[in-house]
Amino acid sequence: MACVVRRGIAFILNGYGSQRLSAPLDCSSCVSMRKDLSMTSMQSTQQPYRWQTTVRILWVTQFAAMAAFGSSLTFIPLYILELGIPDARQAALWAGFVAGGAGISMAIFSPIWGVLADRYGKKIMLERAFLGATVTLLLMGLAQSAPQLLVLRMIQGSLSGTTTAISTLVASITPREQLGRVLGSLQMSIFAGSTVGPFAGGVLADTLGYRIAFISTSLVCLGAGIAVFTLVHEPPQAKQPLPAFRLPKLRNPVGNSMLSTVLMLAPVIFVVQFSIMAARPIFPLFVAEVATTSAIASFAGINVEEFVATIAGLLIATTGVVATFCSMVTGRFIDSHRARLLLIVAVVGSALANVGHALIATLLQLWIVRILLGACNGIWAPTYSATVGLSVPSERRGLAFGISASASALGNAFGPIVGGYIGAVLGIRAVFAAAAGALLLAALWLALRVKPLTPADPDD
């Protein structure tokens, strides 16, 4: 009877928010009730984890990092000329080695950092990335020769990787239903920083020199790392051994592996990034060619050919602005049902934009196809990031984003080399035609090998 009375008292007190009973409970059911009351009290007094605040901080640090990298790394070919390489062709060759070396080292180490992030936490891996970028960029600003710059750039590729680290941390703390929108916003910060960085870096390099640009970038990364250390909070997670997985068979890409979707998506990521980087080194030369043959090569008494660099910069900025806007809009529509369709639309659209590059005859036509390319980039980037995050449980997202980063880094490494070779042998327009063909094959791979995501959360 006393036990029944105590149950009634416990019920009344629980309804009014009592923390726990002062008298001991006798039967096993009462003991269980006492534990429930204690747990309720702990949950009521515990502060909720504000993941939105963490995402906002990471958005700002991502923008700052991309702007900083763009302000220095964009001008590596010109920096190499100051390091004792007087010939422009040799400088271009060294610039290709520097870009390729960084991409290869990043491709090797990204999955390793991803595994460690899953094991020891995403925040500490982000701090490692900013620390590595701070030290290597500072040393790059103090380099005395092109070989030293090459070695330091390879070390930076192996130690940094802030974009992947931030995406992994954001994906691990964001609720599944908000993942597409949040990653779309994060891609917007990447595009915005990449657009602002080269302009700011150009002004800084012209006024204070290229070494100061590298040192300034290092200081920005240091400040971003300090902000992450002091302001970003990652919810505690128990250390668990990583589950075993096996590579999927091509005939059954989804198979039994939780990483099958990521592994099947990796070739597409490589091709998309390859096509972007293949055209980047030769794009100013392409603009010069179009400006020379364009009907408005001379307009209002102004020789357009004298402003090729400015025109190329404006076209690149246009692509970035459009991509920024489209990534923000696309993030609101990404879910398990639409992800693969959006990926196919983005890749096919990029192929058509590259075909347009190969066929255009005027600067106005080039401006139009650059808008189309920017829109496709803005659809592609947040959608593939969300697909990677949605296709695996949270404890495997570090490795999943590491694999996608490796594929992207390989595209960064081999794109400029192959694109430069095709441009030298077959002509600049052939680079865009080859990129279009590769993208169409990637779209076919997407349709046949990458299956739609299931709406169920892998964590469940």
Tell me if 20 is assigned to some domain.
no
Pair 220, 264 in one domain: no
Tell me the sheet residues that pair with 303: 298
239 pLDDT above the threshold of 60: no
Cα–Cα distance for residue pair 265/254, rounded to 1 Å = 11
Pair 214, 332 in one domain: no
Pair 294, 428 in one domain: yes
Pair 273, 327 in one domain: yes
Tell me if 405 is assigned to some domain.
yes
The predicted pLDDT at position 53 comes to 87
Pair 228, 275 in one domain: no
Cα–Cα distance for residue pair 312/284, rounded to 1 Å = 6
Q: Is the dihedral of CA 439, 441, 444, 448 positive or negative?
A: negative
| CB neighbour list of residue 250: distance below 8 Å, 6 or more residues apart | 449
The predicted pLDDT at position 118 comes to 80
Q: How many residues does the chain have?
A: 460
Helix (H, G, I), strand (E, B) or coil at 302: strand
Tell me if 310 is assigned to some domain.
yes
229 pLDDT above the threshold of 70: yes
Residue 69 sits in a domain of what CATH number? 1.20.1250.20
Pair 185, 328 in one domain: no
| Residue tagged 């290709």 (tokens) | 96
What's the rounded mean pLDDT across residues 372-380?
A: 93
Tell me if 168 is assigned to some domain.
yes
Tell me if 3 is assigned to some domain.
no
301 pLDDT above the threshold of 60: no
30 pLDDT above the threshold of 50: no
Of these ranges, 16-25, 229-238, 427-436, the one predicted with the greatest mean pLDDT is 427-436
Tell me if 17 is assigned to some domain.
no
Pair 325, 284 in one domain: yes
pTM for the predicted model, two decimal places: 0.72
Q: For residue 432, name the pLDDT band (cuts at 50, 70, 90).
A: very high
- Higher-confidence residue: 63 or 392? 63
Tell me if 450 is assigned to some domain.
yes
The predicted pLDDT at position 303 comes to 60
What Cα–Cα distance (Å) separates residue 58 from each residue in 41, 171, 225, 347, 419?
32, 12, 10, 28, 34
The predicted pLDDT at position 426 comes to 85
> Is 313 within 8 Å of 199 (Cβ atoms)?
yes
Tell me the sheet residues that pair with 316: none
Cα–Cα distance for residue pair 310/229, rounded to 1 Å = 39
H/E element holding 298?
A: strand 298-299
72 pLDDT above the threshold of 50: yes
Pair 282, 373 in one domain: yes
| pLDDT tens per residue across span 76-114 | 777 887 888 777 667 767 777 787 788 888 888 888 888
The predicted pLDDT at position 436 comes to 95
Tell me the sheet residues that pair with 102: none
Pair 115, 165 in one domain: yes
Q: What is the count of structural domains for the chain?
A: 2
Q: Which domain holds residue 403?
A: 258-460
Return the DSSP state at 241: P
Question: Mean pLDDT, the chain, as a whole number?
Answer: 77
Pair 375, 456 in one domain: yes
What Cα–Cα distance (Å) separates residue 5 from each residue in 18, 77, 360?
16, 83, 86
The predicted pLDDT at position 26 comes to 47
Pair 172, 264 in one domain: no
Pair 222, 281 in one domain: no
